[in-house]
């Protein structure tokens, strides 16, 4: 039984699809996931390293600031439609799963036009243009943020609050003191985790660098993931109480050691932090499509799980004041941690897989 998965462009749209596909195969060994993505997205690097067969099409986003480039979008869509027709004859899908981004829109449209049920995962508090338009022909949509439903059309689609598919924390959390010692920090230290994605966030890195030079609070230690592309520029800040690394993989040891996190407001990072119960200082990327990271940060802050700091306000002084206020208020930190856990959905992938399995119906009886 073949199920197409389509989404990408960024990791936030590809990795949920991979998590759902793996959970679905665990639940339904008769299912064969097949991924459809874009040649210019992150999927061109990631999908060849996975266990899943895939096709990469010449798909492009809408070039809204540079309208004259949209001829590429039209040409890619026409060629992609022909490729999907060929693929549909060779590997006809029982269901199409969209996980967001421009890479998913054409495949979901193809499924709908060919009578194939379509479902989606929508990870952000404000779904993107592709998700909002395709909701009109989607059977079920799995929401990473329940607040997303307010921005979606009332079109017969069933909106379900599942959370975002993440690698869940262990059922018994690792001991925080032991985790800090693995980072060679004092067991009694308070720890701030800083990360901005695989490529890093320059604004966060620059603010943290200025703060470290200015002087961080006593008994505070930092785990600072700069991003691979920016590590060389900031690696000289590494010292006993400031561990500078290019990337955190696996990240569980860092989560286990941390009391607070300074992060962007992407859907996957904030979902993982929520599941671990880590209070967040959120600095949304101001250029994110549809300003969706700001909307993510706003709903997390309203829930009491984080503090929103606009990038234009992010200075060493503001960062120092925000961190000190949280370190000095253990009651507030506990409340933020509880609020984060209340939003956490550590088993989202399994829940989505169960719902997809029900839509697929019973496995075919073996001969």
Please tell me whether residues 159 and 259 are part of one structural domain: no
Residue 160: inside a domain, yes or no?
yes
pLDDT, average across residues 260-282: 96
> For residue 62, which of 77, 49, 84, 42 has the smallest C-alpha distance?
77
Per the structure, the complete domain to which residue 86 belongs is given by 2-166+347-360
* Per-residue confidence (pLDDT) for residue 340, from 0 to 100: 97
pLDDT category at 129 given cuts 50, 70, 90 is confident
Q: What is the arrangement of strands in the sheet containing 95-98, beginning at the earlier edge strand?
A: 54-57, 32-38, 2-6, 95-98, 118-122, 140-143, 158-161
CB 10 within 8 A of CB 114: no
Residue carrying structure tokens 């370190």: 327
pLDDT, average across residues 224-229: 92
Residue 367: inside a domain, yes or no?
no
Q: How far apart are the first and last CA of the chain?
A: 15
Please tell me whether residues 101 and 158 are part of one structural domain: yes
* Per-residue confidence (pLDDT) for residue 63, from 0 to 100: 63
Summarize pLDDT for 159-195 with one digit per residue, the tens.
999 999 998 998 888 899 999 999 999 999 999 999 9
pLDDT, average across residues 129-150: 94
Residue 200: inside a domain, yes or no?
yes
Residue 266 has pLDDT above 80, yes or no: yes
Please tell me whether residues 186 and 324 are part of one structural domain: yes
| Per-chain mean pLDDT for the chain | 92
Q: What percent of the chain clears pLDDT 70, i.e. is strictly above it?
A: 96
Please tell me whether residues 207 and 250 are part of one structural domain: yes
CB 272 within 8 A of CB 291: no
Q: In a 3-state reduction of DSSP, which class is residue 31?
A: coil
Rounded (10°) CA dihedral 194, 197, 199, 202 = -50
Residue 339: inside a domain, yes or no?
yes
Residue 366: inside a domain, yes or no?
no
Residue 222: inside a domain, yes or no?
yes
Q: What DSSP line would sit under 218-262, residue for residue?
A: TTEEEEEE--GGGHHHHGGG-BTTEEEES--SS-HHHHHH-SEEE
More confident residue, 220 or 248: 220
The C-alpha atoms of residue 343 and residue 145 are separated, in whole angstroms, by 9
How far is C-alpha 317 from the geometric centre of its chain's CA atoms?
Answer: 29
Q: Is the peptide bond before 250 cis (omega within 30 degrees of 0)?
A: yes
Residue 72: inside a domain, yes or no?
yes
Please tell me whether residues 309 and 354 are part of one structural domain: no
The C-alpha atoms of residue 65 and residue 201 are separated, in whole angstroms, by 23
Least confident of 17-21, 76-80, 233-237, 238-242: 76-80
Show Cβ contacts of residue 208 under 8 Å, excluding neighbours closer than 6 positions: 194, 222, 224, 262, 319
> Of 5-9, 288-292, 325-329, where does the model show the most confidence?
325-329
Please tell me whether residues 103 and 184 are part of one structural domain: no
* Per-residue confidence (pLDDT) for residue 169, from 0 to 100: 92
pLDDT, average across residues 226-244: 95
Please tell me whether residues 221 and 330 are part of one structural domain: yes
Residue 261 has pLDDT above 50, yes or no: yes
Residue 76 has pLDDT above 70, yes or no: no
Query: How many domains, in total, are found in the chain?
Result: 2
Residue 205 has pLDDT above 90, yes or no: yes
Q: In a 3-state reduction of DSSP, which class is residue 7?
A: coil
CB 159 within 8 A of CB 153: no
CATH of the domain at 110: 3.40.50.2000
Rounded (10°) CA dihedral 108, 113, 114, 116 = 50
Segment holding 35, helix H or strand E: strand 32-38
pLDDT, average across residues 88-113: 93
Please tell me whether residues 16 and 142 are part of one structural domain: yes
Residue 274: inside a domain, yes or no?
yes
pLDDT category at 363 given cuts 50, 70, 90 is confident
Please tell me whether residues 70 and 17 are part of one structural domain: yes
Please tell me whether residues 265 and 196 are part of one structural domain: yes
Quote the tokens at residue 34.
């097949």
Please tell me whether residues 279 and 140 are part of one structural domain: no
CA-based angle 167:247:276, to the nearest 5? 35
Please tell me whether residues 144 and 36 are part of one structural domain: yes
* Per-residue confidence (pLDDT) for residue 171, from 0 to 100: 84
Q: In a 3-state reduction of DSSP, which class is residue 124?
A: coil
pLDDT category at 81 given cuts 50, 70, 90 is confident
Summarize pLDDT for 21-72 with one digit per residue, the tens.
999 999 999 999 999 998 888 888 899 999 999 999 887 766 666 776 767 7
pLDDT category at 364 given cuts 50, 70, 90 is low
pLDDT category at 367 given cuts 50, 70, 90 is very low
Summarize pLDDT for 299-355 with one digit per residue, the tens.
999 999 999 999 999 999 999 999 999 999 999 999 999 999 999 999 999 999 999
pLDDT category at 288 given cuts 50, 70, 90 is confident
């Amino acid at each position: 039984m073949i199920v197409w998965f389509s989404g990408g462009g960024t990791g936030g749209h590809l990795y949920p699809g991979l998590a759902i596909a793996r959970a679905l195969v665990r639940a339904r060994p008769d299912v064969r996931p097949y991924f459809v993505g874009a040649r210019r997205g992150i999927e061109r690097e990631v999908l060849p390293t996975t266990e899943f067969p895939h096709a990469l099409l010449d798909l492009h986003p809408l070039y809204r600031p540079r309208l004259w480039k949209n001829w590429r979008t039209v040409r890619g869509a026409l060629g992609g439609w022909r490729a999907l027709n060929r693929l549909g004859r060779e590997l006809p899908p029982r269901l199409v799963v969209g996980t967001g981004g421009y890479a998913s829109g054409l495949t979901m449209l193809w499924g709908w036009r060919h009578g194939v049920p379509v479902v989606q995962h929508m990870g952000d508090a404000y779904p993107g243009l592709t998700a909002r338009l395709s909701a009109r022909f989607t059977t079920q949509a799995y929401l990473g943020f329940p607040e997303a439903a307010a921005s979606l059309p009332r079109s017969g689609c069933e909106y379900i609050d599942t959370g975002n598919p993440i690698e869940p924390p262990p059922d018994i959390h690792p001991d925080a003191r032991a985790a800090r010692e693995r980072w060679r920090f004092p067991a009694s230290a308070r720890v701030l985790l800083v990360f901005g994605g695989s490529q890093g966030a320059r604004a966060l890195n620059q603010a943290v660098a200025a703060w470290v030079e200015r002087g961080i609070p006593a008994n505070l230690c930092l785990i600072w993931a700069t991003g691979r592309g920016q590590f060389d520029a900031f690696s000289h800040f590494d010292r006993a109480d400031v561990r500078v690394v290019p990337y955190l993989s696996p990240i569980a040891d860092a989560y286990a050691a941390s009391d607070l996190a300074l992060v962007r407001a992407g859907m996957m990072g904030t979902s993982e932090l929520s599941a671990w119960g880590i209070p967040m200082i959120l600095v949304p990327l101001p250029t994110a499509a549809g300003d969706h990271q700001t909307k993510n940060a706003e709903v997390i802050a309203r829930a009491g799980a984080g503090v929103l700091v606009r990038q234009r306000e992010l200075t060493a002084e503001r960062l120092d004041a925000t961190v000190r206020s949280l370190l000095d208020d253990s009651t507030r930190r506990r409340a933020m941690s509880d609020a984060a856990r209340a939003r956490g959905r550590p088993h989202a992938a399994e829940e989505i897989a169960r719902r997809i399995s029900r839509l697929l119906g019973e496995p075919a009886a073996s001969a």
